[in-house]
A and B are shown apart, each in its own frame.
Chain A
Amino acid sequence: MSSWWSWEHAIGALPTLLDGFKITLLATVLGTLIALVLGLIVAIIRRSAPSIVSAPVTGVVEFVRMTPLVVQLVFANLVLSPYVDSTLAIGIWVLGIHYTTYMAEVYRAGIDAVPTGQWEAATALSLPRSRTWRAVIVPQAIRNTLPALGNYAISMFKETPFFFVIYIPEMVRNAQTYGGDTFRYTEAITLAGLIFLAASYPTSLLIRRLEKKLA
């Protein structure tokens, strides 16, 4: 009975693991959306807003990027939990904002890679600034950055276990809890790892294919 692997416990852990996986997935999807949208806004502000606006934004971005996600999670939870009911919401926003700073850099590189001739053609057609961004610059910038954005999404996915520090029942935390209750850790943790692999490996293959197609 004391063999290192028990199928009984593997199957027993599965439901709670899948519950946790749902949270992991939700956090990844929402966090990615937040980072995609805010990252673009930050990149555009840093490129085009007057320095009264762009300097403080740059300061905040650097600060967030230079501090660890775990510290941000604990800190945000400490400060916000009296006002926000859902710890999960706090976790998702922290994750999303943390990755906003990376995605903003990716967008910035993509925006800089759009040739100046494109801006000049837009000026020659008298296109308003906002329309130039929307119809000309952003579509070209995003095309250059899709693979990098996809890789950050995967990386967010793999960082969701850090949510354990604020007690969010994502998959790895549930695996721990199952282990604590049954004194069988191996099966639950192994399965959690396999589920991560099963989700991120095909996604990264997809991104590599996208990369090739865009190149």
Chain B
Amino acid sequence: MPENTPHLEFRDVTKSFGGNTVLNDLNFTVGTGERVTLIGPSGSGKTTILRLVMTLEELTGGYIDLGGNPLQYEERGGRRMRVPDRQRRRTTQQVGMVFQHFNLFPNMTVMENIVEAPIHVMGLKKAEAEAKAEALLDKVGMAWKKDARPSQLSGGQQQRVAIARALAMDPEVLLLDEVTSALDPEQVGEVLAVLQDIAAETDISMLIVTHEMQFARDVSDRVMMFDQGSIVEEGEPDKIFSDPSHQRTQDFLRAVL
């Protein structure tokens, strides 16, 4: 059950690319342990929101706080100050991200992919990191491939390894950006099943972008419908999917379901 303390907080967030404003004055929070799914038409800014949290994009205006700590910018003495890189990295260490195209390191084995950050960021001993990686690989059903290279795996298998890699950093927030949309249809199920297990067994906060509406319905505490960088409506999945209040949500759901 989600608590009410905000874990992730967007305050007056603005993001532009060149002159093109993609997010305009966006405000929302994600509670500790809460699972929030973002839906909305292509180009509505869903990926941009996740990339801002991961500091893959620089905020144009406003603030994002994580567990009370400023992520990219902070207000000090009435001025908006950039958070230094080192401190940014310390804060984003609590955030994990799984990408649409997996982005495993092709020059490393499955095991090396997973222990890389625990060893070199968290400072775990190699043996410790490997024991932990084994357990995670077991959980995603990939322990038998720990010495394989990513190029020897199917898309679904690579994505399961990528999920284990993100979890190996003990993230408090997990960002999932259309993690099944690059997969062959027959591999979608195995990845969603793994994510459902993780959602059931952990209390990691999640920010999810997906076109898998059944999955969204199953794991989400809340669904937010976006259009053109603004929240059209939000609510519990049953409400949004069965009885949306807005015409735009109805049109969008009719198009994707």
> Are A139 and B54 in touch, CB under 8 angstroms?
no
Tell me, rounded to whole Å, the shortest Cβ–Cβ distance linking B155 to chain A: 14
Docked complex Cα distance between A125 and B97 (Å): 8
Please, which residues of chain A bring their CB within 8 A of the CB of B107?
136, 139-140, 143
In the complex, B99 has a CB within 8 A of chain A: yes
> Are A135 and B120 in touch, CB under 8 angstroms?
yes
> Are B120 and A128 in touch, CB under 8 angstroms?
yes
Question: Given A136-B105, A139-B107, A140-B107: A127 and B120 within 8 A (CB)?
Answer: yes
Can you list 9 A-B pairs, Cβ within 8 angstroms, ordered by A? A117-B99, A120-B103, A124-B54, A125-B166, A126-B169, A135-B105, A136-B107, A139-B107, A143-B107
Docked complex Cα distance between A117 and B116 (Å): 16
Docked complex Cα distance between A126 and B92 (Å): 7
> Are B97 and A124 in touch, CB under 8 angstroms?
yes
In the complex, B199 has a CB within 8 A of chain A: no
Docked complex Cα distance between A128 and B90 (Å): 10
The interface size bin for chain A is 10 to 19
> Are B101 and A125 in touch, CB under 8 angstroms?
no
| Overall SS of chain A's interface | helix
In the complex, A121 has a CB within 8 A of chain B: yes
Docked complex Cα distance between A191 and B55 (Å): 63
With both beta carbons as reference points, the residue of chain A lying nearest to B90 in the complex is identified as A126
Interface residues of A in 123-154 (CB under 8 A from B): 123-128, 131, 135-136, 139-140, 143
Please, which residues of chain A bring their CB within 8 A of the CB of B121?
125-128
| Overall SS of chain B's interface | loop
Q: Sort A-B residue pairs by CB-CB distance and give the 3 closest, nearest first.
A: A125-B117, A121-B103, A117-B103
Q: A115-B103, A128-B89 are in contact. List 12 more A-B contacts (CB 8 A).
A: A117-B101, A120-B54, A120-B99, A121-B105, A123-B54, A123-B55, A124-B54, A124-B95, A124-B97, A124-B166, A125-B165, A127-B117
Interface residues of A in 20-57 (CB under 8 A from B): none
With both beta carbons as reference points, the residue of chain B lying nearest to A125 in the complex is identified as B117
Docked complex Cα distance between A80 and B117 (Å): 47
Question: Given A117-B101, A131-B120, A136-B107: A125 and B55 within 8 A (CB)?
Answer: no
With both beta carbons as reference points, the residue of chain A lying nearest to B89 in the complex is identified as A126
Interface centre among A120, A124, A125 (most CB of B within 10 A): A124
Please, which residues of chain A bring their CB within 8 A of the CB of B99?
117, 120-121, 124
> Are A120 and B89 in touch, CB under 8 angstroms?
no
In the complex, B104 has a CB within 8 A of chain A: yes
In the complex, B56 has a CB within 8 A of chain A: yes
Please, which residues of chain B bring their CB within 8 A of the CB of A190?
none
Docked complex Cα distance between A120 and B102 (Å): 11
Docked complex Cα distance between A117 and B169 (Å): 19
Tell me, rounded to whole Å, the shortest Cβ–Cβ distance linking B163 to chain A: 12
Interface residues of B in 26-68 (CB under 8 A from A): 54-56
Q: Mark A103-126, 1 if CB is under 8 A from B, else 0.
A: 000000000000101101101111
Tell me, rounded to whole Å, the shortest Cβ–Cβ distance linking A138 to chain B: 9
With both beta carbons as reference points, the residue of chain B lying nearest to A124 in the complex is identified as B97
With both beta carbons as reference points, the residue of chain B lying nearest to A121 in the complex is identified as B103
Tell me, rounded to whole Å, the shortest Cβ–Cβ distance linking B41 to chain A: 24
